[in-house]
Structure 1
Amino acid sequence: MEKTQSPFASAYLRFLQLATVVQALPDGQEMDANESALLQSVVLRWYENEPMTVREAIGLAALGSPATLHKRITRLREKDMLSTLNQEGDRRAKFLIPTQRTLDYFQNLGKSMQQAHQNQIA
């Protein structure tokens, strides 16, 4: 069967190939798709200067039940992908903050996207 793909589909598929390579964390640990989706949600909010609280994260019903999301947050913290920060003056609100390891992880994904784009125009 012949592959007929648009340049955009080809670029995205190459990106997926590259992203798969960097999906593993530096020490060989991996994140499952659910952990990755949660991490992306948390980091996107942080990037938009609206850090997500633990309470908000456990309320992301589209990503799982509160108990499941709490376990995922715990696993991401154990993998040194997230840390928490208490708001000054209010110890009840804990914000989820990406660690340097997470920022490095997304930087590697960004490099993969750029490489896929460079391969597309070459």
Structure 2
Amino acid sequence: MDNNQSPFASAYLRFLQLAKVIQALPEGQAIDANESALLQSVVLRWYENQPMSVREAIGLAELGSPATLHKRITRLREKDLLSTLNQEGDRRAKFLIPTQRTLDYFQHLGRSMQQAHQNPII
């Protein structure tokens, strides 16, 4: 088998390899790809010090319809991956905040990627 791929193909295939290493939460409770995409969007905004409101999350049309996104938010809250925080002075505005379990999950992902990088399969 010829493994002389372009650097771009190699980089992407390496990314896929690293992503495959981690499919579930450390405790074994799985989250599906759609929940993962929503969780990543919320946590990235939180990491950038711009927490996402529930309204904004429900408006992420590329991730699903508002009703579907509302259900995903509910499931992520039930799995203790997201919590909500009311905006001071406006009880209607709620922001999605990662829980400690989510932060631990992302730390697990980072460790898994580091281990996979140190011990490549390809």
TM-score, normalization by structure 2 = 0.84
3-state secondary structure, aligned to 2:26:
coil
TM-superposed CA distance for 1:6, in Å, is: 4.9
Corresponding residue of 1:72: 72
SS where residue 93 of structure 1 aligns? strand
Residue identity over aligned pairs, in percent, reads 88
Higher helix proportion: 1
Q: Which runs of 5+ in 1 are unaligned?
A: none
Which residues of structure 2 form unaligned runs of 5+? Answer: none
Q: How far apart, in 1, do the equivalents of 2:18 and 2:48 lie? A: 26
> Pairwise CA RMSD of aligned residues?
2.1
Query: Where does residue 93 of structure 2 map in the other structure?
Result: 93
Q: State which drifts further: 107-116 or 92-101.
A: 107-116
1:19, 1:112 within 8 Å by CA — same for their partners in 2?
no
Cα offsets for 1:11-55 (capped at 9, x unmatched) = 654554454343212332211111100000000000000000000
Give the TM-score, by structure 1 length.
0.84
CA shift at 1:114, angstroms? 1.8
Distance 1:102 1:76 in 2: 10
